[in-house]
């Protein structure tokens, strides 16, 4: 198992000014830095790749899906912007050596409404139309796209693994798989271990291992032992990454409902979270 941490824990948006984080994350003992792409133009990607190579860290790339990046929007211009953002991030993942690009690629975070079945069908149709294009682009660039279910307070589209599996199957592309965040699963799933087994090794491409309150892993009510055992059962051998939020932007705070500190400090959360991961997976 490889252990990582998201730049979201310290910086939003992550930028060239944040590059000292690469060294900090390496010194803490992580294997992976997960770079959240809020604004690609704020990041000197060539320089970042050099620094990452020097440290020996690996990279995964994650997305930030605001209202202007919604491939299921009523507005075709917004759908086009969303598709362009996703393909840009896939290209970044390719250039940075990330095997995946993950996130709630199907919609915008914070988009929660009560809508008719007809409207749901229209939005799903637009989503699938764009995901088919995403799958082809991802295949051409050797990247897996991880489709992430979110809890009901952050999206009205894909909340559960069953819904994610259905959408992935309907998209019908081998480069569209499923990324799980245990924080969301802890709200929406009856059993996270059984959810992991249901998805299986072939579809599960990435794990964001977060606590029930988005605080330090191991300090809440998530069934970590069950999760570990399920990952072992399906022979999962990829990454598990802490993705929570320290210094949040206004947009992230609204979308994820982060109104208070989640730990005494971001450094403490990262260090203690990694210690917990290593102890958990050493047993």
Query: Which residues are catalytic, by number?
Result: 148, 243
SS3 for 33?
A: strand
Q: What is the DSSP string of 87-139?
A: HHHHHHHHHHT-SEEEE-TTS-TTB-----HHHHHHHHHHHHHHHHHHHHHHH
How many Å apart are CA 279 and CA 137, to the nearest integer?
39
What count of Cα atoms within 13 Å lies in the side-chain half-sphere of residue 70? 20
Helix (H) or strand (E) holding 79: helix 76-96
* Burial profile 198-207: b = 16 or more Cβ within 10 angstroms, e = fewer: bbeeebbbbb
How many Å apart are CA 269 and CA 282, to the nearest integer?
20
Contact assessment for residue 207 and residue 240, using Cβ atoms and an 8 Å cutoff: yes
């Amino acid at each position: 198992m490889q252990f990582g941490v998201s730049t979201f824990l310290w910086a939003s948006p992550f930028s060239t000014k944040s590059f000292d984080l690469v060294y900090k994350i390496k010194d803490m003992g992580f294997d992976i830095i997960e770079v959240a792409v809020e604004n690609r133009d704020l990041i000197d990607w060539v320089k970042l790749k050099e620094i990452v190579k020097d440290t020996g860290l690996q990279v995964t790339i994650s997305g930030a899906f605001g209202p202007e990046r919604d491939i299921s929007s009523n507005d075709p211009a917004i759908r086009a912007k969303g598709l362009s953002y996703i393909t840009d991030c896939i290209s970044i993942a390719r250039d940075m050596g990330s095997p995946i690009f993950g996130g709630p690629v199907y919609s915008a975070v914070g988009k929660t409404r009560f809508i008719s079945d007809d409207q749901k069908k229209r939005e799903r149709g637009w989503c699938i139309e764009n995901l088919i294009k995403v799958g082809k682009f991802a295949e051409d660039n050797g990247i897996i796209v991880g489709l992430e279910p979110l809890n009901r307070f952050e999206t009205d589209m894909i909340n559960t693994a069953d819904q994610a599996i259905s959408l992935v199957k309907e998209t019908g592309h081998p480069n569209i798989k499923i990324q799980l965040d245990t924080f969301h699963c802890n709200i929406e799933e009856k059993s996270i271990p059984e959810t992991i087994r249901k998805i299986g090794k072939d579809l599960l491409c990435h794990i964001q291992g977060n606590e029930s309150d988005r605080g330090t892993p191991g300090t809440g009510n998530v069934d970590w032992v069950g999760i570990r055992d399920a990952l072992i059962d399906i022979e999962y051998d990829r990454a598990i990454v802490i993705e929570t939020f320290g210094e949040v932007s206004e947009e992230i705070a609204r979308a994820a409902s982060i109104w208070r500190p989640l730990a005494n400090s971001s450094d403490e959360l990262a260090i203690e979270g990694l210690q917990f991961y290593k102890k958990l997976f050493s047993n």
